[in-house]
Structure 1
Amino acid sequence: MDRKASIGDAAIEVIAAEGMRGLTHRAVDRAAGLPAGSTSYYARTRTALLELAVRRMVELDEVEAEPPPHGGLADFLGSVVYSAITEGRTRMLARYQFALEATRSPELRASYDSGGHLVRRRCAEVLAAAGSPAPEAHTRVLIGWLDGSIFDALAGTGSRRPPSRDELVEGARAVLAGLGLSGA
């Protein structure tokens, strides 16, 4: 892994653990196990560090966004949400912090939105392939379910008992049925 990716990963971990207020160049150096000053060499300002972390999240999303060749759409979607609330928990917590920060930071908004547009475009492609007559409109509904399910399981009242993978697959089936799509 290259140094920028390492710094991006460490920044994501710091944000998830300490929030935006905890994000400093020194904190990222410590989390990445780098000598003091290393992070500031690659990202001179706090804004540059935030943008590096957002770009890293987008890179990681691109790797995970490919649906598996076998299995139904509901199974895939349930697995995506389950992965986000288990092994992807740290990145999702950081993503929520970024979402809030982007509402106050126009310079971060563009970087954050580029990742969101990528996910929405891929979602529309998957829905079109599944036979959706209105993939863009259906994407808004499906992203709402995905985001809501993840947020509830990580930060909402559902965090006391996060859903199982099977519950998430059933939820995805219900959403797809509501859109008039087969999810089996």
Structure 2
Amino acid sequence: MERIGTIGDAAIEVIAAEGMRGLTHRAVDRAAGLPVGSTSYYARTRAALLELAVTRMVELDSTELEPPVGGLAEFLAATVHQAITEGRTRMLARYEFALEAVRRPELRAAYDRGGLLLRRRCAEILEAAGSPAPERHTRVLIGWLDGSIFDALAGTGSLAPPGLNELTESARELLAGLGLPDTR
């Protein structure tokens, strides 16, 4: 349903701009350019609206989990770079959701679906690259991805976020530390 996607996208934008406290049905209607009451037709409660938004985030993430075409370091660097540039809004909303999921168990399952999807895909990529311990290496890699993105968006690193070249070098160093080649 196209309308649900529009509402989900608008909810993500509202959360990124105003935080969880700013998420209301009317704010989403406004952000989506829909008549008042449209969002509440599809998501009657705030909990349903949160579920719709996190489900949309997972849906968008899953379309971006394509296998790397070039080198693994370039793929990882491009992933971080995209998240801190064009994907900034979704990442900020994701941080809001992460904290909300800690406090609201009903959101935890939906939030974790996206994280587990990313982790599974990461382990597959690392296994294909020759990792002898793809699950363990996934933890290290996700830590680097999450840390790099968070620092560039919300940490002190936001004062001078890394560019694509710096991220590529960092990814190469990380892969070398894991004993993985930068496959090309």
TM range (shorter): over 0.9
State the distance in 1 between where 2:157 and 2:67 align.
26
State the distance in 2 between where 1:68 and 1:137 align.
20
State the distance in 2 between where 1:98 and 1:147 align.
14
1:68, distance to aligned residue in structure 2 (A): 3.6
CA offset digits 1:10-35 (Å, max 9, x no partner)? 00000000000000000000000000
Residue number in structure 2 paired with 1:12: 12
Q: 1:68 to 1:137 in 2, by over 3 A?
A: closer
CA offset digits 1:42-85 (Å, max 9, x no partner)? 0011111011011111111111110243x100000000000000
CA offset digits 1:74-99 (Å, max 9, x no partner)? 00000000000000000000000000
Residue number in structure 2 paired with 1:23: 23
Matches within 5 A, 1:135-154: 135-154=134-153
Q: 2:88 corresponds to which letter in structure 1? A: R
State the distance in 2 between where 1:128 and 1:56 align.
28
- Equivalent position SS for 1:127: helix
Structure 1 stretches of at least 4 aligned residues deviating more than 4 Å after TM superposition: none
Is structure 2 residue 40 aligned with structure 1 residue 2? no
Q: 2:52 corresponds to which letter in structure 1? A: L
Residue number in structure 2 paired with 1:120: 119
Task: Output the TM-score relative to the length of structure 1.
Answer: 0.98
State the distance in 2 between where 1:101 and 1:86 align.
24
Is structure 2 residue 84 aligned with structure 1 residue 85? yes
- Give the aligned CA root-mean-square deviation in angstroms: 0.8
State the distance in 2 between where 1:102 and 1:122 align.
22
State the distance in 2 between where 1:63 and 1:161 align.
29
Residue number in structure 1 paired with 2:65: 65
- Equivalent position SS for 1:174: helix
Residue number in structure 2 paired with 1:42: 42
State the distance in 1 between where 2:175 and 2:93 align.
28
- Equivalent position SS for 2:151: helix
Flag structure 2 segments of 5+ consecutive residues without an equivalent: none
Q: 1:28 corresponds to which letter in structure 2? A: V
State how many pairs are aligned: 183
CA offset digits 1:135-161 (Å, max 9, x no partner)? 000000000000000000000000000
- Equivalent position SS for 1:103: helix
Q: 1:75 corresponds to which letter in structure 2? A: E
Residue number in structure 1 paired with 2:169: 170
State the distance in 2 between where 1:64 and 1:78 align.
14
Q: 1:34 corresponds to which letter in structure 2? A: L
Flag structure 1 segments of 5+ consecutive residues without an equivalent: none
Q: 1:43 corresponds to which letter in structure 2? A: A
